[in-house]
Structure 1
């Protein structure tokens, strides 16, 4: 009987045995894994860090478009994109709430010739469940002017910051803006958010894009310093037009202290304090 030689299998067996010994030795001497890199989000967002569920530990609130993601400190989702029962597209954002470690959501959406702005404090329904439109709190709205074409109707509103006024009450600042609609509105408003209430408006021609809060005159109260851009869309506000950029200074109650025009159309005037 002739023996059948299989040198390839012998060499393979030796290699597999060697590989097994190397892996076993590596695992035996491997150090404990202390950390791991996690993919958090795939686009650029500004997360908010708050204790959203009241357990004493902060969570990450990540907002993009109509989706809210909340992750715990181990970067695990514990609820993802809670649903709001609206039949129209909407945009939702998270802003600081009434207390130091809290958050409030605010939504904007359009129905016919009106753009609505609503607030939504966190509830048990914001943990992955459906929220009826009836739970949204009225805050603000914009109505299309009869002189504005429906295709040109555009209004946006965004959170700028919050401050304590002369009476010790905390106010939230929002800027509102239009684009090509010369009959639209631009400016700044101050409000409380629990409950939602508009305290004052300041209308402007140019776009407000930045705010600084500082005590300019040394009276112990902070003034509101606004930077603006002049897009030259024909928008008017108070005694300004958007063919010039301005620095505006208001007191904490929204009264104008002074303003300066620093540039012509397509320029931005930016204020810093220090």
Structure 2
């Protein structure tokens, strides 16, 4: 089994709000990967005493544990339980009904000798390579399909589309959001390798148009996760006229996990 992981904050003076893990059960059979991208709130009060990094580490830790220890549960059930566990940990001290209560995008994959299960919620990505080299991008593209007007400001997005019917969903404090995730099960024989990436790394495809998903997967396989992040950072620094970045932050937290299960 080959596993590689790299994660880098967008700003070295701020905590990395991404989370990544790869776990193997004590039995040595199968495994799981978890990648989260914590959603940075706008400045001001967001009803919680805890940081997004705290939330991502708590949720990521719960997902890692539960996906390995409760293999009889589906991945949506795992996500639901993990969200509830973290919500219970700060419900008495924080306003979990606030639209910007700490939250994160989710990629979760779990494999056994027979199957590979996957779950994707919001705009991180899971790439799957077949034994013949074909690469499939498993995405939750609801955010990309929204009218730009609904995302014009944080206030408009929070009021109209964030974790709302007809909008897009992230893992926050409501366990029922797990049913909104993109999920599926693949035969284990159809999967040679997996790559999970937060949107700070998928910028290579989605913002800078350096290649398509198979090209990005090939780069991860050949040069490793850190090389992908390094290339994205170079592209960000070179875009001084903000032709590609436009209104986006110059650097974002970026995480890449590669697994050959």
Common topology (TM > 0.5): no
Larger Rg: 1
Identify, as 1 or 2, the structure richer in strand. Answer: 1
TM-score (normalised: structure 2): 0.30
Greater RCO, CA 8 A, separation 6+: 2
Q: TM-score, normalised by structure 1?
A: 0.29
